[in-house]
Every structure is written in structure tokens, then in C-alpha cells.
Structure 1
Amino acid sequence: MPGDLDADVLVVGGGPVGLAAAIEARLAGLSALVLEPRPGPVDKACGEGLMPGALRSLHRLGVDPDGYPLAGIAYVGGPRRVEHRFSGGVGRGVRRTVLHAALAARADELGVEHVATRATSVEQDARGVVVDGLRGRYVLACDGLHSTVRRLVGLEVPGRRAGGAAWRTARRADRRRFGLRRHYRVAPWGDLVEVHWAPHAEAYVTPVAPGLVGVAILGAARTDLDATLAALPALAQRLAGAEPDGPVRGAGPLLQRTRARTAGRVLLVGDASGYVDALTGEGLRVGLAQAAAAVAHLDDPAGYERAWTRATRDYRVLTSGLVAAATSPARRTIVPAATALPGVYGRIVERLAR
């Protein structure tokens, strides 16, 4: 292995969480090198709604992306509707490419370096890690749901092997859920994220700009975006005549499990560290918290495991429970129950918003 360091921290994956991890490293006084083969802002399927806690985390990093104010979350099922407005500040709907560009600009400002390469090999010794010939003291694997680094260091759990209690709950409910997203050129009709519950899928509507909304669909592998909208006549009417802005993009399967979050000097961060589902819209908030925890615990793998558990506990428990209900006969009771118990619904939203 070469002896000279290319950077203190190699960050594999240049998406939003990878860039946030690199920014965290620079703010901690460490050099950071991002390994990402794709140039420029990368568009992927995601809900694009930043909870108030996620927005505060971005502000702490010196990032303030343009978008559309989000005041809360509404669940909609047929004629029933329940909504809760955040009590601790507003969130923001931000198009993923806009968020990516804002994080990239901040990373550049702080001196984060970039190499256009895809990780294909990982080797470790007592003093560092080499990824495709580049050497760092540590590696933060931020390379997404289907992380190559996770597989290379032996932390991937293939198939349906057991994980912790929250993972087992999600596994029992797992129907290989996937996500789809398309933007529509239409003026937002409110300042809430709307979750419309179709018979077999959920449609998330997020305003991301004054003349643009994103519609994300979560469902089984063969879920079709247009067919789901056809099953939601109120939402379809809102979008009638609206011109799509870009293609339908997809991601999944969503459920991913890991044996652990660390392997020597390699730390898994964001979706690479394990993922339940996008149903609660917390992916970025949780990913940002993991990025901060990873940089704070580079020399303490056990400490990062504990911090990861704390940062993801609410997400794992709440999301696993909702996915279990959403993929069972109890699905039809979710919106009626939320409507009948608005206080409980509000407390859940507030936990997600932190």
C-alpha cells in the first residue's frame, strides 16, 4: 500500500450525504476527497421534502438551498384528510439537483477535492485505507442503497437474513418496495407535503418551487406512476393538464440491512448504512445526522455504532411500523385512524420534524 495520504478522509459517493460528510470533515479541520464518477448535480428519485430538522442541519453546514416553504404534513385518503403544521419552524421543498448544487458549492468553498472514479476495491492496513489507489486515513462510504463499499468490506446482509427488531418488522412487511418520482409544472396549491394513500401505493406531493411540484410514488416493484395517479382522482384533477418536467425516475428496492456500520477504518453513512423505507420522508435528516456522527467518531467505531443507533432509532421504529401497516390489511385504517386521532398524528409528525 502507498504510504502517502491523498486525504485524511476519502468519501465514496458524491450525493447530498457524501458532500455533507465531506463538509463535516473540512469543518473539523480534516482534508477530504470525494470519489464520484458522475459529473454535476445528479438527479435521482426522492421525495425532496426537507423536515425542519434537516434544514437546520444544512444551515449549520453553511448551506441554504432555494426551494418552497413547507409548513407541515397532510395525510389524504379519499374524502378524509388530516394535517399537522410543524410547531418548531418550517421545512423546505428543495429539488434534488438544487440541493446537490448548493452542497457542492459549499464543499468547493471549503476546499473539498474531487476525483471522477467509481470505487471497485478497498484495502486496509493499520494506518489507512486505499480505495482504487487513493489512500486516506478513513473512508466514509456514502454510496447509496446499493453500496459497493458495503459489499466489499463484508457488511452487506444479502437476501432476507435477520437483523435487529426494527429490521425484522420491516422484513416481515417487505414486498420489495420501490420509489418513483416525476416533477410537474404547476403552481403548488398549498404549503404542506401531501401523502395520498391509494389502495396499493402512496403518492407524496412536495412543492419545490413556485411553479413546480414533485410527485413521488412508493409501492411494489410493478407500481406504475400514472396508474397510481388514476386511482387518486382528487390528485389527478390537481395535475390535469400539467406538463411533466423531466422523466420518471426510480429507486429501490428500498429495504437494505447491514451487519454493522463499521469495518476497521471504513464507516457506512446514509443509505449505505442501512435503510428501511422512504415512507416517513426522513432520509436526508437521518443521513445528515449520520455524517456528523461519523466525522465525530472516526477513531471510535463503537462510538459511531452507538451514535448511529441514537440518530436512526425513531426513524427505524416509526418507519418499520408504518411499512408493516401499509403492506397489510391494516393499510385501509391508516388515514381513518390518523383522522380520528389528530393529536397522535401530530405527535408523530413532530418527532419526524426534529
Structure 2
Amino acid sequence: MIDLLVAGGGPAGLATAIHAARAGLEVVVAEPRRTPVDKACGEGLMPAGRRALAELGVTVDGHALRGIRYLDDRYQAEGLFRGDPGLGVRRTDLHAALDRRARELGVAVLPLRVTAVHQGRDSVTAAGITARYLAAADGLHSPIRRGLRLEARSGRAPARYGLRRHFAVPPWTDCVEVYWSARSEAYVTPVGPGLVGVAVLTGDRGPFDEQLARFPRLAARLPRAAATPVLGAGPLRQRVRARVAGRVLLVGDAAGYVDALTGEGLSIALGAADQLVRCVRADRPQEYESAWRRVSRQYRLLTGSLLWLRGQPRLAHRIVPTAARFPAAFAAAVNRLG
């Protein structure tokens, strides 16, 4: 019997496996897809996430990010990171780097799909493997989470979705730029010397080009032809009752998600992976819930507050002008996130 089975070999699952291997645990990753797997995400790592990668011994090339810039059709606000920069990096490059590091540490990544999970008093079995614990890192719409009935009602807030593609153009900024319109946001992340990623977050259904047209200031900077196809994700909001069910612990997007507004998803996943392994190693899974809440507290508070403002028609249009009027407060918020 191994110590930990990780269901899902995306960044969250591989980070969990790397932490486990470094802690001396025997760990196996079950992932039916071939690495690397692309996904609709903003591809920007906050400074904390970049440091977490370095602590794992993961190195990956990308574009240094020195802060966050908000823009609308009239105003602009910029908050710079006070310490280390963040990193803009292609999702596929990051995934491949994590996979290499896991294999360097002897982690077995097997082409298996976890469906049913069977728990006993001292073990859990899935995909024909028995382990002391299982880490469910199977994504935003986690089948394991659903099977364990850990999902909560989503509430009345309208569903939001993300669309992403890349454009072959030299980056014109070393910040993550967030363009605001009446009903959506567009994130621009430099990910290489001749490539930027553009991710649109919106509650409206529609093709990418139609969504991009809402940001004429941004659209004017981009070539007409895109470099990659459109990828989508959503609904983004995922409420979860608990992160622990017996010997199963949820990590990454499977553990719950508020929104991509603040771009912290990967940083939270990396921090939670560390805490999950700490709890497994101590044989105290019940402590993981509070540990996850500590790791994600700033993200949940700030993202939830910003999302609430976005949903108030009388306040939403004031987000960027207010940030521009109070640059010190905006910079402080950016650094609390970073």
C-alpha cells in the first residue's frame, strides 16, 4: 500500500506529488491524458506562486511580471510588486516543467482515470490502487468531489466563464493588464518574447471575437489573426462544503473556486498542496480544512469582494477610476494578493 494516490496530473496534482516525494512519501499520480495538457487560464503567476515553484525545484522560462494594471476606456491604474516579480508562462510549459520535476523525484505517473473511490478505515482504493490517502486534483468540475457529495449550492450569482487564446505580438508591457468593460474583463499576460495571452471573463455567452470587440483599446493592439485556438472554462464559481471526506482531500480547483478575477488560482493550489502533504504525513487529515482556509483566505476575501462590486451596476464602472484615484491603496491590494 502506498502513502498517497493523486487523482489528476495537472499542476495542482503534480505539485502535490512533488511535495509528497520530497517528504519521503510513496506517491502515485493517476492521469489518463498525455502531458502537457492545455487549459483556458490567464497564465500569470503571482510572486508567491513563482516562489512556491522555486521551492519545489521547478524551473520554467517565461516573462517576468512586475505588477498589475487596470484599464477602462478612460482611466488606468498600476500596482507594482514590491519584491520579486511574478511570471507569465504558457500553461503547457508550466505543466511540462512540473511533470519533469515529478519524474526526477521518482513519482510514477500512470495512465489511469479515477472514477469510483472506495474508502476503508485505514485506506482508500481507486483505479486499482490502494493508498493511505487520496488527493483529488481532478479539476474545476471534479467527479470525485461530486461523487462524495461535497458540492454546495452555487447561489444566485450569475455564472461566469473564461475564454483564452494567444496572439503573436511582442509584449508591450511587463504587467498583467486587466481591461474592464460594462459586463466583462480581458486579461493580457505576456508569456514570451513574441506572444501574449488574452483571457476574457464574462457572464455572457458568445464567441471570442465578439467578446474581444468590447475592448477596442485592447483590440487595436492585437493582430487580426490569433496564434492559438480558443479554449473555454466554466462556470467558474464552484462552492464546496468541505475539502476533506474521510481519507480523500481536495486540492486545486477541485477544492473550490471563486473566480479568476485576481489571478491567484495556481498560487493557491501550490500552497494548498504543501499543506495537504503536511497533514497526510502527520496522519491528521482533519487539519487540512482549516489549513486550506488559511492559505486561501486572502483570495476568497478579495476576489469575493471584487466580484460583488462587479455585480453592482451603480458601482462596477467606478472600479478602475477609484483605483486610479488611490494608487497607494491599489498597490497595497496588489501586494496583498502577490
The TM-score, its normalising length taken from structure 2, stands at 0.97
Would the aligned equivalents of 1:140 and 1:266 in 2 still touch at CA under 8 Å? yes
* Separation in structure 2 between the aligned mates of residue 116 and residue 151 of structure 1, nearest angstrom: 22
Q: What code does the residue aligned with 2:251 have?
A: V
Q: What code does the residue aligned with 2:331 have?
A: G
Match in the other structure for 2:254: 272
* Separation in structure 2 between the aligned mates of residue 135 and residue 322 of structure 1, nearest angstrom: 43
Q: Among residues 139, 146, 150, which one is paired with 2:145 in the alignment?
A: 150
Match in the other structure for 1:113: 108
Deviant stretches of 4+, over 6 Å: none
Confirm or deny that 1:323 pairs with 2:318: no
Match in the other structure for 2:215: 232
Would the aligned equivalents of 1:129 and 1:138 in 2 still touch at CA under 8 Å? yes
Confirm or deny that 1:48 pairs with 2:33: no
Confirm or deny that 1:303 pairs with 2:298: no
Would the aligned equivalents of 1:188 and 1:212 in 2 still touch at CA under 8 Å? yes
Q: Where in structure 2 are the equivalents of 1:173-212 lying within 5 Å?
A: 174-212=157-195
Unaligned residue ranges in structure 1 (runs of 5+): 161-170
The Cα RMSD (Å) is: 1.1
Match in the other structure for 1:260: 242
Q: What code does the residue aligned with 2:207 have?
A: D
- Render the CA deviation track for 1:17-59: whole Å, top value 9, x for unaligned: 1100000000000111111111120001000001111000000
Report the Cα offset of residue 302 of structure 1. 2.8
Q: What code does the residue aligned with 1:17 have?
A: A
Task: Report which stretch shifted further, 47-56 or 218-227.
Answer: 218-227
Would the aligned equivalents of 1:50 and 1:92 in 2 still touch at CA under 8 Å? yes
Could you say what secondary structure the match of 2:69 adopts?
strand
The TM-score, its normalising length taken from structure 1, stands at 0.93
Report the Cα offset of residue 84 of structure 1. 1.3
* Separation in structure 2 between the aligned mates of residue 240 and residue 156 of structure 1, nearest angstrom: 42
Could you say what secondary structure the match of 2:34 adopts?
coil
- Render the CA deviation track for 1:128-175: whole Å, top value 9, x for unaligned: 100122111110001111001111222122x43xxxxxxxxxx45x21
* Separation in structure 1 between the aligned mates of residue 10 and residue 286 of structure 2, nearest angstrom: 26
Confirm or deny that 1:65 pairs with 2:65: no
Confirm or deny that 1:88 pairs with 2:83: yes
Would the aligned equivalents of 1:201 and 1:223 in 2 still touch at CA under 8 Å? no
Could you say what secondary structure the match of 1:175 adopts?
coil
Report the Cα offset of residue 223 of structure 1. 4.2
Report the Cα offset of residue 340 of structure 1. 1.0
Q: Among residues 1, 5, 20, which one is paired with 2:15 in the alignment?
A: 20
Unaligned residue ranges in structure 2 (runs of 5+): none
Match in the other structure for 1:293: 275
Q: Among residues 122, 126, 129, which one is paired with 2:117 in the alignment?
A: 122
* Separation in structure 2 between the aligned mates of residue 267 and residue 245 of structure 1, nearest angstrom: 38
Could you say what secondary structure the match of 2:318 adopts?
helix
Confirm or deny that 1:349 pairs with 2:334: yes
Q: Among residues 263, 270, 276, which one is paired with 1:281 in the alignment?
A: 263
Match in the other structure for 1:222: 205
Report the Cα offset of residue 227 of structure 1. 1.9
- Percent identity between the aligned chains? 53
* Separation in structure 2 between the aligned mates of residue 213 and residue 270 of structure 1, nearest angstrom: 25
Would the aligned equivalents of 2:168 and 2:223 in 1 still touch at CA under 8 Å? no
Could you say what secondary structure the match of 2:61 adopts?
coil
Match in the other structure for 2:318: 333
Would the aligned equivalents of 1:145 and 1:274 in 2 still touch at CA under 8 Å? yes
Would the aligned equivalents of 1:195 and 1:202 in 2 still touch at CA under 8 Å? yes
- Render the CA deviation track for 1:56-78: whole Å, top value 9, x for unaligned: 00000000111011000000011
Match in the other structure for 1:102: 97
Would the aligned equivalents of 2:169 and 2:223 in 1 still touch at CA under 8 Å? no
Could you say what secondary structure the match of 1:247 adopts?
coil
Could you say what secondary structure the match of 1:204 adopts?
strand
Name the count of aligned residue pairs: 335
Task: Report which stretch shifted further, 188-197 or 131-140.
Answer: 131-140
